[in-house]
Amino acid sequence: MGSDWESLTVLITGGTGSFGKKCTEVMLRRYQPKKLIIFSRDELKQHEMRNVYPDTPGASIRYFIGDVRDRDRLYRAMHDVDIVIHAAALKQVPACEYNPFEAIMTNIIGAKNIIDAAIDNGVRKVMALSTDKAVNPINLYGATKLCAEKLFVNGNTYSGGSGPLFSCTRYGNVVGSRGSVIPVFQEQKKSGTLTITDPRMTRFWITIDQGVNFVIRSIEEMHGGEVFVPKIPSMNIMDLAKAIAPKSKIDYIGARPGEKIHEVLISGDEAPQTVDDGDRYVILPSGPWFQNKHWTHATAVPEGFSYTSDRNPQWLTLDQIRQFIADLQ
């Protein structure tokens, strides 16, 4: 499928977010789909995006105002769509903790609506974006994304052999995205003091370009039910602080509710279903409906394997972190 994007209609939910905008830029520049539909609920962000990518006569891009909570609107938006990239979510941890019903409506009920609309409209493939916070979740955001993962993986049982294929990508913090700590540190640098929750804190890091490319590649190679996990580097929060503001003082404020010291991309409980495929891991479905016909070339991970940000063999150096930050300017 990697060679025929020009014949496909692609819909991106949450298309005006950090991922959606970068995915749009890559799609239009490199893959040139027959039609690209931006589905989101913020009319202002769509207006701003339309100024960059206008939907003039003859253009392939279209803009749909809508919410993934609205099943009927999704049905209309997915008419004649081939590929759905599901990036819409409520993802701010404190906001999800304070507004739990809203997080469930968007992240879980929204996922169900995506699955139903895709099946009934004959969509070919659906790729949902997940997060490391879905693994052994301790906050509501992570719990809702775990539920969403389960829905999409087992959505293949609802679609049957002739319906859409559903899979997920799961990766860590996106450098410079909305909610990233980098702009926070850059602003705090002006005062001479950075606030850090815990000096031991580590995180997986990936650039927005890497995330988009990984998602597109995963769409091309998915067979339904996989959770794709890239091999990405870790970063220590203290190294990030040194790279951004080496002369600033540090104020330790303690971990916030629902915040982990280290993140996990693959838990030990998932190891029996996980294979190593070179520059990525693939978590295979464990349901009785799944037969491993397509990943026999990959290597099973060792017993007891887990992929955590503090025991990651790949770490960003200070120079690499500085380069990350410079690339964001």
Average pLDDT of every residue of the chain: 94
pLDDT, position 327: 80
Q: State the pLDDT at residue 175.
A: 83
Q: Per the domain annotation, does 71 fall within a domain?
A: yes
CA angle in degrees (0–180, nearest 5) for 129-244-206: 20
Amino acid 292: pLDDT: 86
Q: Is residue 116 assigned to a domain?
A: yes
pLDDT, one tens digit per residue, over 182-228 is: 888 999 999 999 999 999 999 999 999 999 999 999 999 999 999 99
Confidence of residue 328 (pLDDT cuts 50, 70, 90): confident
- Residue carrying the six token digits 């719990």: 143
- Using one digit for the tens of pLDDT, what is the confidence trace for 41-98? 999 999 999 999 999 999 999 999 999 999 999 999 999 999 999 999 999 888 999 9
The answer to whether residue 108 is domain-embedded is yes
Q: Are the C-beta atoms of residues 265 and 132 closer than 8 Å to each other?
A: yes
Is the residue at 304 inside a domain?
yes
Q: Does the residue 122 lie in any domain?
A: yes
Domain count, the chain: 1
**pLDDT for 167:** 98
**Separation CA 90–CA 99 (nearest Å):** 10
Residue 147 located in a structural domain: yes
For residue 72, give the CATH number of its domain: 3.40.50.720
Given a cut of 90, whether residue 278 has pLDDT beyond it is yes
Is residue 188 in a domain?
no
pLDDT of residue 179: 67
Boundaries of domain holding 36: 5-172+206-231+264-308
Whether 290 is in a domain gets the answer yes
Q: Which among 158, 137, 156, 154 is positioned nearest to 146, based on CA atoms?
A: 137
**pLDDT value at residue 3:** 57
pTM check: above 0.85: yes
Catalytic residue among 91, 133, 145, 260: 133
Answer yes or no: 133 catalytic.
Answer: yes
